[in-house]
Amino acid sequence: MNGSLATPEIVLALCGMGILLFGVLRRGDGGLICSMLTIGALLLAAVLVAGGAFGLAFEGQFLVDPMSVFSKFLILAAAILGVVLSLDYNAREGIGRFEFPVLMLFATLGMMVMVSAGNMMSLYLGIELQSLSIYVLAAFARDDVRSAEAGLKYFVLGALASGLLLYGITLVYGFSGSMDFAAIRQALSDPTRVSEGLIVGVVFVIAGFAFKVAAVPFHMWTPDVYEGAPSPVTAFLGTAPKVAAMVLFLRVMVGPFGHVLMQWQALIEIVSVASMILGALAAIGQSNIKRLMAYSSIGHMGYVLIGLACGNAAGLRGALVYLVVYVFMFLGTFAVILAMRRRGQAVETIADLAGLGRNDPALAMAMAVFMFSMAGIPPLSGFFGKLYVFLAAVQSGLWTLAIIGVLTSVVGAFYYLRIVKVMYFDAAREAFDRRPASLSVVAAATGLFTTFFFIAPAPVLDAAQAAARVLFG
């Protein structure tokens, strides 16, 4: 029993309750100050994560290893940037209530529990804490029909997915006799104990995770929720929970179910290919940029799943690097989307970007960087994300995945480059409102990361390598 390993989570939970209390007791509008406090709490959690030791706690339900630390940093970074992105937007849209940052904080707490889970129970606990917070966030602009609809849809479908996941966990428990990851792995090392019931359970677990990472065919909620939810929520929703769910996905598939790799590998390949293709094709017809980003993120998750399909350390490393790269590209793009505001009104069609190259060259340059990066054009970070997963796929002999990945990224390049074309070559429209400093900071930070990742990729690569090694001894 080594409860101190969970210090960051415990501190974050206490901070969350403290801020909630503060917000309730303080009269008037406390959105901004609570956001600041939240950012402080998240930073404190990051410091504690950095200072923590590795090990198991709570009877193996909670574990801290390089992989969980790696993903916690990424989640916290995404959460902090997410809160920063929401500052200006919430104030202008009249949803700057103090619950907003607190909900983000609790969602982040849920994610941290997810990536530290060592047991099906703690896994489910983390997922539900995270999901319930985000259901509320998606519907946060409660006067807006689209937002309410998004929250409701997400909730109903999320509940269904949770049901599938829970059912899968039950089956796995029933056929392996344990909830603990290590114990399940131990049990499955004996091929005679791999029954069909257990395999059905694994498929249900995969379905649950596929929903969380929005992989085809469990992606249907994504476009509607991304479009309907307030933009800062979408930015958050598209990054931190994806990281948490994907890391958990990797951990569960490679850890407890590692010995049945041959059984599930084909499924992951199918899901990956379907996600890449749908992400590339469906985005072509979109005119709403948030909807486009939804399909784009489906495609990106398809690429990350290539790494999982490899089922080896190289693939895992590729997937983790891809997640890092993806998070910053996605947040940066949303910083630009949040800056799309004319006369106080948020606009979100692609055509609204026309003339950005002339009206706001710096912002257009940042957007162009993100688009080129998402299209996978060297030397931007998106290229390296793809490079490492394709490399792993080729080394593992998964040529089909690598070839389809390359082909879909060619198709994807079409709609990314179309945005660049609209910004620089289409007849200019009225300029956007002055962009707030918070967005400029996020866009600049993520833009610089995306542009200059190639100069020193070593720290990220090393951390991903260390994280991947955990699961492969």
Partner 1 sequence: MIYAVAVLVPLFGSAVAGLLGRAIGDRAAQAVTILCMIVATICGETAFIQLVWGGAPTGTVRLAEWVSAGSFHVDWALRYDTLSAVMVAMVTFVATLIHIYSIGYMGHEHKPVARFFSYLSLFSFAMLMLVTANNLLQLFFGWEGVGLMSYLLIGYWYERPSACAAAIKAFVVNRIGDLFFAVGIAMVFFLFGSVSFSTIFAAVPQHLNDTYALFGTNYRALEVICILLFIGAMGKSAQIGLHVWLPDAMEGPTPVSALIHAATMVTAGVFLMARISPILEHAPVALGVITVIGASTALFAATIGCVQNDIKRVIAYSTCSQLGYMFIAAGVGAYQVSIFHLVTHAFFKALLFLSAGSVIHAMSDEQDMRRMGGLWKKIPLTYTMMWAGSLALAGIFPFAGYYSKDAILEAAFADGSPVAIYGFVCGVLAAFLTAFYSWRLLLMTFHGRSRADHHVLEHVHESPLVMTGPLIVLAVGALIAGFSLRGLFIGADWHAFWRNSVGVAPGNHILARMEEIPAWAALAPSVLALLGIALAYIMYVAVPTLPAGIAARFAPIYRFLLNKWYFDELYDAVLVRPFFALARLLWQVGDVTIIDGVPNSIAHIAEDSAEQAVKLQTGSIAVYAFSMLIGVVLLITIFLIFR
Q: In the complex, what is the shortest distance from the CB of residue 277 to partner 1, in angstroms, rounded to a whole number? A: 8
Q: In the complex, what is the shortest distance from the CB of residue 188 to partner 1, in angstroms, rounded to a whole number? A: 14
| b/e code 81-108 from CB counts within 10 Å (16+ = b) | bbbbbbbbbbebbebbbbbbbbbbbbbb
Map residues 410-439 to x or -, x wherever contact with partner 1 holds by CB under 8 A.
-x--x-------------------------
Q: Burial-class residue 459 by CB neighbours within 10 Å (0-12, 13-18, 19+).
A: exposed
Interaction between residue 298 and partner 1 (CB under 8 A): no
Between 88 and 269, CB nearer to partner 1: 269
Q: In the complex, what is the shortest distance from the CB of residue 294 to partner 1, in angstroms, rounded to a whole number? A: 10
Q: Cα angle at 132 between 231 and 153, to 5 degrees? A: 60
Q: In the complex, what is the shortest distance from the CB of residue 139 to partner 1, in angstroms, rounded to a whole number? A: 14
Which segment (109-117, 180-188, 220-228, 241-249) binds partner 1 by CB under 8 A? 220-228
Q: In the complex, what is the shortest distance from the CB of residue 207 to partner 1, in angstroms, rounded to a whole number? A: 5
Are the C-beta atoms of 336 and 366 separated by less than 8 Å?
Answer: yes
Interaction between residue 127 and partner 1 (CB under 8 A): no
Map residues 131-170 to x or -, x wherever contact with partner 1 holds by CB under 8 A.
----------------------x--xx--xx--x------
- In 214-260, which ranges are continuous DSSP H helix? 221-228, 231-237, 240-254
Judged by CB under 8 A, which of 3, 18, 174, 217 binds partner 1? 217
Residues in the chain: 473
Interaction between residue 204 and partner 1 (CB under 8 A): yes
Q: Using alpha carbons, select from 15, 50, 48 the residue that is nearest to residue 34.
A: 15
Map residues 252-281 to x or -, x wherever contact with partner 1 holds by CB under 8 A.
-----------xx-xx--xx------x-xx
Both tokens of 368, joined, read 């162009």
Q: How far are the Cα atoms of 26, 98, 201, 240 from residue 46, in angstroms, in the given order?
A: 27, 22, 35, 14
Residue with tokens 């402080």, as numbered in its chain: 40
What CA–CA distance (Å, rounded) separates 105 from 130? 9
Interface with partner 1 (CB under 8 A): 153, 156-157, 160-161, 164, 196, 199-200, 202-204, 206-207, 210-211, 216-218, 220-221, 223-224, 263-264, 266-267, 270-271, 278, 280-286, 411, 414
